[in-house]
Amino acid sequence: MSQLQGKMSLEEYMRRIDFHGSFRKPDLETLKMVHKQHVMTVPFENLSMHCGERIVLDIEVAYNKIVRSNRGGWCLENNYLFGWVLREMGYDCTTLKSKCFMVPLNDYSPIESHLIHKVVIDGKAYLADVSYGMTCQLWEPLELISGKDQPQGPGVFRLIEEGGFWALEKTNRKLKILDPNFTKTSLINRLEAYPIHRFTLEPTEVDSFLYINDKLQTDPASIFSNKYICSLQTPTGVISLIGWTYSEITFKPEEGVDYYDMREIKEDEVDQILQEKFKIKLQKKLTPVANKSCHNISQPFITSKFEAKMNLEEYFRRTDFHGSFSKPDLETLKMVHKQHVMTIPFENLSMHCGERMVLDLEVTYNKIVRSNRGGWCLESNHLFGWVLKEMGYDCTTLTSRTYMASHSDYLPFKSHLILKVVIDGKAYIADVSYGLSGELREPLELISGKDQPQASGVFRLIEEGGTWVLERTGRKPKILDPDFAKSSLINRSETNPLYRFTLEPTEIDSFLYINDKLQTDPASIFSNKYICSLQTPTGFISLIGWTYSEITFRPEEGVDYYEMRDIKEDEVDQILQEKFKIKLQKKLTPVGNRSWYTM
């Protein structure tokens, strides 16, 4: 039997944390012992995401990783697992979420990112948290009482309640840095007292962390994207590996001092330190990263943000739009729509660079506007919806089912995000991210049966029983290289449906599941091919797998010219930079498996 088979069990978990006492009585003493053993044996760490692995909110995955593979995790794994343990032991345990304090901003994070537990024993409530890490780690649960000093190994903790909000704060001891080369390191928080996180007692479910689980792994501003982190409590203090710095902190409460023994390490020491100090043996190669950030040993949950706010002026510089955007009329909408598709590629390159595409407007904005990238519909149309609303348009998000030509049917799930825009009482469909020959250059009037010619062909919307279908009639393809005459990338049907939708409004969160599915399902086209396309004044260009194409529209001839060629792996970066103005920050792993995708 594989070590990852078999049901989860308390006995196996207790062996993992080296707990040998009785765990059948859900009392305070047992809770304290199990809590302390967990933090002494299970590291706080984010190594998976720097090994090309995705951290998911799945209790069995977390159990197998931490218990059976002898790994650690961050709060969304560690505290999630600990909550299961407590409930299995018979405790009255409720999941809560909190906002972590950001020292550089002197404020709490705007998002609730930290998972904690409230445990009630004999009518008295306690706060359990086995995964804050570093010197802010609770060794034992705290009594949920306001204003009471509760000394533990790392320092004195206290909870403060005001108006239904609880804040956890900590008072440190003085610190003594043994190596003078580290006296000014940013890894050390020199504040004597500071908040850690703030929360309410409103219960939550783990699914409420789906969004933040994505964000913390993919946002370029997230501390977890910028540094690999591993810390573990010891009987006398804490050890940590943050980027290239290994530290051993010894608590000396009797002296009122904590001793910091810190040293820089080399890349070839990382695996040895993880094995010898943290008992972690990675199965996949770690890609060490230690970018500059505001992380320190005291506050592991700090995140930074891009300094500037999102703004229309910056977006319009990105799309090379120089007209006025103060009047939300049809003419302006047409121009802004066209400039978007002419300058921002439809692409899924991130997922083939080991990056996760998330449903976060600020992440999307920074990627497309500031990093000069493109995106797929869940990014590009999401951003465009924000643009339109900022401009003053009446804009509603819709969802649609894409047509699969290979199956002569629509997908069974709604995967394509589009926008309905109402101007002077008349509705239009805006869609800047279908890509290739199905790309709209201008919005379509939401009217049934009307031919609406555009550069790539004639579009029309058909309504029946409250369901709308967008279809396109194209021109004949003329393939210049006979080697591509039978290419599966070319759709030879004259008229094709593109997608089907209703006018029921939706929110971006309704795409969370499909955003995951399209990136992880082995059957997904996006898993099987990297895709990049961009509209041009005379047609469009595309890179799909190993085929680069330049398509020229010739409506006066009733023909579209397809100039196609196969490329080599070492040409990919050059084509992306020269043709699409995309310079990737991470290495692309080219993939071009056989699939149903066509231009």
Q: Which residues contact 556 (CB under 8 A, 6 or more apart)?
A: none
Residues 363-369: contacts with CB within 8 Å, 24+ apart? 363/215, 363/218, 363/219, 363/220, 365/310, 365/315, 366/220, 366/221, 366/306, 367/220, 368/318, 368/344, 369/310, 369/314, 369/315, 369/318
Q: Is the pLDDT of residue 122 over 70?
A: yes
Angle at which helices 28-41 and 75-89 cross, to 10°: 150
Is 431 part of the annotated catalytic residue set? yes
pLDDT of residue 185: 81
- Nearest to 16, CA basis, from 39, 35, 41: 41
Query: Residue 425, SS3?
Result: coil
Q: Which CATH number is 10-278 given?
A: 3.30.2140.20
CB atoms within 10 A of CB 569: 10
Residue with token string 């309504």 = 463
- Nearest to 82, CA basis, from 95, 101, 69: 95
- Nearest to 85, CA basis, from 44, 42, 138: 42
Q: Is the pLDDT of residue 261 over 60?
A: yes
- Nearest to 472, CA basis, from 458, 462, 452, 493: 458
User: Could you give the dihedral angle defined by the CA atoms of residues 72, 78, 82 and 84, in that order, rounded to the nearest 10 degrees?
Assistant: -110
Phi, then psi, of 471 in degrees rounded to 5: -130, 160
Phi, then psi, of 544 in degrees rounded to 5: -125, 110
- Chain centroid offset of residue 269 CA: 29
Q: How big, in percent rounded to 5, are the helix, strand and coil portions of the chain?
A: 30, 30, 40
CB 172 within 8 A of CB 193: yes
Instruction: State the Cα–Cα distance between residues 533 and 530, nearest whole angstrom.
Output: 10
294 pLDDT band, cuts 50/70/90, is very low
In the predicted model, what is the mean pLDDT of the chain?
A: 91
CATH 3.30.2140.20 residue ranges of the chain are 10-278, 312-580
Average pLDDT over residues 294-301: 52
550 membership: H or E segment, kind and range = strand 547-554
pLDDT of residue 398: 98
CB 594 within 8 A of CB 386: no
pLDDT of residue 2: 40
Write down the catalytic residue from 75, 100, 136, 377.
377
Q: Which residues contact 294 (CB under 8 A, 6 or more apart)?
A: 102, 103, 104, 186, 223, 302, 304
pLDDT of residue 296: 56
pLDDT above 70: percentage of residues in the chain: 94
pLDDT of residue 215: 84
Instruction: State the Cα–Cα distance between residues 242 and 50, nearest whole angstrom.
Output: 13
Q: Is the pLDDT of residue 221 over 80?
A: no
Q: Is the pLDDT of residue 112 over 60?
A: yes
Q: Which CATH number is 312-580 given?
A: 3.30.2140.20
- Nearest to 77, CA basis, from 227, 216, 225: 216
Write down the catalytic residue from 214, 416, 532, 560.
416
Is 38 part of the annotated catalytic residue set? no
pLDDT of residue 36: 98
Q: Is the pLDDT of residue 426 over 90?
A: yes
Angle at which helices 330-343 and 377-391 cross, to 10°: 150
Query: Which tens digit of pLDDT belongs to each residue from 366-382?
Result: 999 999 999 999 999 99
Is 58 part of the annotated catalytic residue set? no
188 pLDDT band, cuts 50/70/90, is confident
Q: What is the DSSP letter of 592?
A: B
Instruction: State the Cα–Cα distance between residues 487 and 170, nearest whole angstrom.
Output: 65
Q: What is the DSSP letter of 523?
A: T
Instruction: State the Cα–Cα distance between residues 189 and 171, nearest whole angstrom.
Output: 12
522 pLDDT band, cuts 50/70/90, is confident
Q: Give the least confident one: 46-50, 471-475, 517-521.
A: 517-521
CB atoms within 10 A of CB 534: 23
